[in-house]
Amino acid sequence: MSAKKKKKILVVDDERSLRLTFRYALASEDMEIFEAIDGETALRWLEEQSCHLIFLDQQMPGKNGSEVLREIRERGDLTPVVGVSAYGTPDLKEKVASLGCSRFLHKPVTPDQLRRVAQDLLDQEA
């Protein structure tokens, strides 16, 4: 029962240290964290599985955050997405918002911020 209730969260970031710290920050009994090292991996993972929330880094080698987001939405996948960037200009924020990005977080983020945002969005979905 409890295993069924676990919310799946996908963290997409090319930086291993960030994936790791996100995992530790969000880790809890009712959350299951998955990682993708770039956009391609994330899109492939999403073809096979679904999740409740995606943390999506914007600056990545290969496909960048907004390109990945566009593809997700083009598939009709409406999973909430939180954009994360170290260099988030208002333009970028606006662009990803128009693609259906629910929230935007500027690096550095604190574990508290991550948890709050995640909780908010998961509650809304529920």
Partner 1 sequence: MTNRETSGTESRPAPLTTRVFFNLVPLVVILAGFGLFAFVVFVDFSRQVRDRMEMNQRLDLLADQVGANLSHLQSFLISNEFPRGFSTAEQEKLQEYLDEVTDDIDRLANLDTTQNSAAFFPKLRAAEEELYTALRDLSPGDSLQPKRAEWIAALNRLDRLLEEVGLANKAGAVQTEKLFDQLHRRVVTALVGGGSIAVIVAGLCCYFLARSILRPIHDLTNATSKIAEGQLDHRVSTRSADELGKLALAFNRMADRLQAFRRSQDETVVRAHQFMEATITSFPDPVFIFDQKQVLKLKNAAATDLLAAVGVHPDGIPPEIKEFLQRVFEGGESVPAEKYGDALTWRIRGRKKFFLPRAVMIERDSLVTGVALVLYDVTGFRLMDEVKSSMIGTVSHEIKTPLTSVSMVLHLLVEESVGPLSEEQRELVETALDDTTRLMDVVNDLLDMSRIEQGRVVLDFEPTDLGDWLQEVCEEFDTVLEARGQHIRLDLDEKVSQVWIDRQRMANAIRNLIENAHKYSPPDTEIELTLRQDGAERVQLSVSDRGAGIPEEIHDKVFEKFYRAPGLEEPGTGLGLSLTREIVRAHSGSITVRNRPDGGAEFTLHLRRQPHECKKEKEDSGR
Minimum CB distance to partner 1 smaller for 71 or for 119: 119
Q: Rounded to an integer, what distance in angstroms lies between the CA atom of residue 54 and that of residue 89? A: 20
Q: Phi/psi at 88 (nearest 5 deg)?
A: -80, 105
The sheet with strand 81-85 has its strands ordered as 31-36, 7-12, 53-57, 81-85, 103-106
98 binds partner 1 (CB under 8 A): no
Site mask for partner 1 (CB under 8 A), range 23-62, x = bound: -xx-x-------------------------------x---
Reading the block at residue 118, the tokens are: 């995640």
Judged by CB under 8 A, the chain residues 7 through 26 that form the site for partner 1 are 15, 17-18, 20-22, 24-25
Q: Alpha carbon of 12 to those of 1, 55, 56, 117: distances in Å?
A: 28, 6, 5, 16
In the complex, minimum distance from the CB of residue 103 to partner 1, in angstroms, rounded to a whole number: 17
Interacting span for partner 1 (CB under 8 A) from 2-10, 48-56, 63-71, 109-117: 109-117
In the complex, minimum distance from the CB of residue 50 to partner 1, in angstroms, rounded to a whole number: 27
Residue 98: strand, helix, or coil: helix
Look at the block and give the residue holding tokens 């990803």: 96
User: What does the binding site for partner 1 look like in residue numbers (CB under 8 A)?
Assistant: 15, 17-18, 20-22, 24-25, 27, 59, 86-87, 89-91, 107-112
